[in-house]
């Protein structure tokens, strides 16, 4: 099983979309291994977005991500990273296909509702930033055999 980090960004929380967004991941067959409502500190934002520090949008991104609570999720399932990214859609809402989270709920470049890890390697690093090992749960579900073919 693969894990991925998903963040419901401040705009998703402020717009009260979290339940609707979470249901899309659960409906697809991903399960929650960890979940918390939190406020991202400047330090955590700097760690999480370290790859973007030289980009012109970095300061605005950090300001946005620290402006209000987010929901951090560790989701688990077969091909969790690629499945989650497909559900999220293209980065900019106006470019995202209908049927995806960003395509159905956004049109903004700047406010794109959700973050998801872009590879299993980045997922491992990002999950470690947002969750302590003891905050992640391992458990089976009655439909595991029906959802996994690996």
Q: Please give the positions annotated as active site.
A: 115
- The CA distance from 58 to 14, in Å, is 21
CB 50 within 8 A of CB 2: no
Structure tokens at 66: 């620290």
Round to whole Å and give the CA distance between 119 and 17: 25
């Amino acid at each position: 099983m693969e894990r991925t980090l998903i963040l419901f960004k401040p705009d998703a929380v402020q717009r009260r979309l979290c339940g609707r967004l979470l249901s899309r991941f659960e409906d697809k067959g991903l399960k929650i291994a960890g979940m918390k409502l939190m406020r991202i500190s400047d330090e955590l934002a700097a760690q999480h977005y370290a790859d973007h520090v030289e980009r012109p949008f970095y300061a605005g991104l950090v300001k946005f991500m620290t402006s209000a609570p987010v929901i951090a999720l560790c989701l688990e399932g077969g091909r969790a990273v690629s499945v989650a990214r497909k559900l999220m859609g293209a980065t900019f809402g106006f470019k995202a296909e209908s049927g995806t989270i960003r395509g159905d709920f956004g049109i903004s470049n700047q406010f794109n509702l959700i973050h998801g890890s872009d590879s299993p390697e980045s997922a491992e690093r990002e999950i470690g930033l947002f969750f302590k090992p003891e905050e992640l749960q391992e458990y089976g579900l009655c439909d595991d055999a029906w959802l996994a073919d690996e």
